Structure 1
Amino acid sequence: MMKTKETLVTGFALFSMFFGAGNLILPPFLGFNAGPEWFLVALGFFISAVALPLLGILAHARLQGTMLDFANKVSPVFSIIYCLFVYAISISLPAPRTASVTHEMAIQPFFGSSSLLTSSIYFILVLVFVLNRSKILDILGKFLTPLIIGILLAIIGIGLFSVHPEMRPSGFETPVISGILEGYQTFDAIGAVVVGGVIIISLNLKGHDSFKAKKQLISRAGVLAGLGLFLIYLGLILSGAMSNAEFDEDITRTALLSGLSLNTLGNIGNVFLSVLVSLACFTTAVGIITGTADFMKGLLGESQQAYLATAIIGCILGVVMGQFDVHYIIDVALPALMFIYPITIVLIFLNVLPERFASKAVFRAVVIVTLIFSIPDFLSTVGLADKMQAVKDMIPFANYSIGWLLPVILTFAIANLLSRKSK
């Protein structure tokens, strides 16, 4: 009974750390634009926003170290650079975005206060939670997540059983690919390698010392969190699709979510949505800042001063970046995501695979090829799309922003064949 309760608490805590700003505003908008093809975009979104994060948690359960272990087989130097880059992105973009979404959807409509005031109070509260490190898992898992899930189910459930006009046609040429790329914006694959470390350290602080027991607990909690994410995403995407004829085609992501909550829960819907947005965003920000502070503490010899300094710097950066518009932060994040996401994806896959398929030579070859073939996608998002077009035309699937995929699969196969031959 105790194990079941701890699995539920850990799974709920994982869910809450994953489920933040992007997870709320992206799925309904995806369904809204997909219309009748909502299932295809849901499939793509499931691949990048559910399956990959789940594999990331399973990799953590297998490694039970820090994020450094994800890339150590490439080289220790590369691992440190990769980790610093991921944590820098995490505290600079997805963490501040949670404050920006909270202000736009939960504070400004009621109080009309400045975004500076919102983000300042918001990250002071985040800092309080981060400094109470040993209690994070229980607070998130026992109290905040059930509230988030309850409000979400109310919005989705009422919306699905309401009468809607006929859907408008899909606006996507390749709905599955569009779903995959939109899933990038949730940061969930990156989130998996960040918050997975938070879970491991939290369990260690609670006195868990059995490798096998922790592996089982983390794996089960990951599956539970993944199932929760899948069902919520599916409901939000379908809600957006069923309502796509009820709103203007140029509606924004945040306005659509507000409209859906108003349609389902009436005037009180805005209050419920405000609570939902605030909780969902807050738990994610706590997970990101805690993960970053944990990493810097471990990197600098278990220094508590490093933990405190990183937490404070992360919160100050959150206040500064939280002043920007949500859609601006999403646009700014795209180039970084197009570069770091493919690397994160292949590292997750390689760390899940059995050792005989993922030697150091395989790690190095696959990661190098991923880096090379991610460059055209990255450059295309920073204003060089025209110059990159000739290159992308020569690479299979590059025009769908996944030009790295086929070269990586081939490299993985060839590296394994050569490795076996040399043995």
Structure 2
Amino acid sequence: MKKRDTVFIGFMLFALFFGAGNLIYPVSLGMEAGTSYWPAIIGFVLTGVGLPIITVAAISLVKNGAIELAGRVHPMFAIIFTSIIYLAIGPFFGIPRAANVGFEMGIAPWTGGITATGLLLFTIVFFILVFITSLNPSKLVDTVGQYLTPVLFIAIIGLVIGSFFLLDGQAQPPAEKYSSQPFSSGFIEGYLTMDAIAALAFGIIVITALRERGVTSPKEITYRSVQAGLVTAAGLTAVYICIGWIGTKMASEGTYESGSMVLSAAADLMYGNIGTLLIGVIVLLACFTTCVGLTVACGQFFSKRFSRFSYKAVITFITIVSFAISNLGLNEIIAYSVPVLVFLYPIAIVLVILTFIGRFFSHSPYIYRGVVFLTAVVSLYDGLVEFGLPMSFAEPFITSLPFAEFSLGWIIPALIGGLAGWVISFFKAPRTSERYQN
């Protein structure tokens, strides 16, 4: 396998991760962090870039991707949890959200605004192209890594270079949450990209691409995955820092409701209508590559786990469902999907952590179950609260947990669950855990 193949796989992974949200969140952080920008963006990069790349590395350590990670808890849990993950980041949320953002920022400014008819026509064309591109996953590295990603890079570079010469705004005093704890606030903001969950799906795409290029040794797969991940990490880090810096300059230009509005205003200030077109190209490419990656990941997962369904049949179903949900509108999609992601994210994080440290306790299923169960209890509470359900009976306990104010209340329960599982494992036959080792 040639070195350039590793670079192209890294480019592909960058494009798969880099959706519209990855443009918007750093800009919002830059505006709010102001003069505290650097510690805030460093925290953001650690979780927004570090966690996804670590997750890809974790996937490379197992043979069957996310299903094997979750299978160390229980085989039935593996099927249910992993299916929910793929459906959430795929047709039920991730893909429709990206399609909507692509329409709102890339097409609507040129067609008289956001309308149901405009969205319908756009999504018809958009998902036909997603379906066609997803039909041949073996060509994904060539299509995305060699062609679409460089175009995306060039468009982003044009935006960034213009910001250094054409934007005169100055960084403002930081907002309240960034004035006292800029690093930790940026650290938590990095979770919003949700890329650590997406990495559970994208990791297997990287491994598949490596195997198609003749890499078969488990150690070499891990090594090459880490190399490709470093290429991705370098690209994401550079883009986040530069895009976030635009936010700091735009803070003195006015008040904006979202990161997308900041970017649109910045592009208009720099280049006028050409700037609006540039933003449109960036967002459309970012959304399209993410949707293709998620469609391929879902197609490969479900066709492999449920062999009665072919890959083509699965991606047909994925694109049809994604098309239908996309036309509900962005606000509706976010309203029902965010609570699910709030529930899933901590569980995904602890599974990745356990993958790296599991060899120290022979991947005991009891430790996995203890950690995941108590993590799930807390994250379920957070998800139900996000959904708007009254949880007053549990609120005093959950909110008193350490780190609860940062939505990290699950950390201590996870440690307690792991300790309980470790104790239980002493009373069980050691052979029980052998099935769960790599």
The answer, yes or no, to whether TM exceeds 0.5 is: yes
Deviates more, 1:363-372 or 1:8-17: 363-372
State the distance in 2 between where 1:155 and 1:166 align.
18
Q: Provide the residue aligned with 2:385 in structure 1.
A: 380
- 1:322 aligns to 2:326 (yes or no): yes
Deviation track 1:291-334 (CA, whole Å, cap 9, x = no partner) reads: 01101111123x5x432222112111221222244354334332
Matches within 5 A, 1:244-393: 244-248=251-255, 250-301=256-307, 305-353=309-357, 355-357=359-361, 358-384=363-389, 387=392, 388-393=394-399
Which residue does 1:406 correspond to in 2? 412
Partner of 2:245: 238
Work out the CA distance in 1 between the residues paired with 2:328 and 2:127: 15
Deviation of residue 410 (structure 1)?
4.4
Counterpart mapping for 1:183-222 below 5 A: 183-222=190-229
Taking a change above 3 Å as real, the CA distance of residues 268 and 4 of structure 1, as seen in their structure-2 partners, is same
Deviates more, 1:261-270 or 1:66-75: 261-270
Other-structure match for 2:103: 103
Q: Is this contact kept in 1: 2:148–2:285, CA < 8 A?
A: yes
Taking a change above 3 Å as real, the CA distance of residues 372 and 157 of structure 1, as seen in their structure-2 partners, is same
Comparing 323-332 and 78-87, the one that deviates more: 323-332
Q: Distance in 2 between matches of 1:324 and 1:178?
A: 32
For 1:246 and 1:124, the matched residues in 2 are separated by 40
Q: Which moved more, 1:29-38 or 1:173-182?
A: 173-182
Matches within 5 A, 1:112-261: 112=112, 114-161=118-165, 162-172=167-177, 175-248=182-255, 250-261=256-267
- Residue-by-residue CA offset, 1:256-311 (whole Å, 9 max, x unaligned): 1111222344431111111111111101000101101101111123x5x4322221
Question: Please, which runs of 5 or more residues in structure 2 have no aligned partner?
Answer: 431-438
Query: What SS does structure 2 have at the residue aligned with 1:298?
Result: helix
Deviation at residue 100 of structure 1 after TM alignment: 0.5
Check 1:295–1:58 CA distance in 2 against 1; reply closer, same or farther (3 A cut): same
Is the 8 Å Cα contact of residues 170 and 248 (structure 2) preserved in structure 1? no
Q: Which runs of 4+ in 1 moved over 4 A?
A: 173-178, 413-423
Q: Structure 1 residues 37-46 or 59-68, which shifts more?
A: 37-46
In 2, Cα distance between the equivalents of 1:364 and 1:191?
23
Query: TM-score, normalized by length of structure 2?
Result: 0.88
What residue identity is the alignment partner of 2:356?
Answer: V
Match for 1:393: what amino acid?
A: T
For 1:179 and 1:328, the matched residues in 2 are separated by 27
RMSD: 2.4
Using structure 1 for the length normalisation, give the TM-score: 0.91
Q: 1:161-195, CA deviations, whole angstroms, 9 ceiling, x for partnerless residues?
A: 54213514314265445434433332200110001
Q: Look up the match of 2:434.
A: none
**Structure 2 residue aligned with 1:60:** 59
Residues 30-54 of structure 1 deviation map (CA, whole Å, 9 limit, x = unaligned): 2212222323432342233211101
Moved more, 45-54 or 91-100: 45-54
**CA deviation string 1:3-33 (max 9, x = no partner):** 2101101100010100012111221112212
Q: 1:227 to 1:385 in 2, by over 3 A?
A: farther
Name the CA shift for 1:306/1:109 in 2 (closer, same or farther; >3 Å): same
Question: Are residues 277 and 166 of structure 1, via their aligned partners in 2, closer, same or farther at CA, if it must alter by over 3 Å?
Answer: closer
CA contact (8 A) 1:13 1:145 kept: yes
Is the counterpart of residue 394 in structure 1 residue 400 in structure 2? yes
Moved more, 175-184 or 112-121: 175-184
Q: Structure 1: where are the runs of 5+ without partners?
A: none
Give the secondary-structure state (helix, strand or coil) at the position aligned to 1:283: helix
Displacement of 1:414 in angstroms is: 6.2
Deviations 1:401-421 (A, max 9, x none): 111012223444565577689
Sequence identity (%):
32
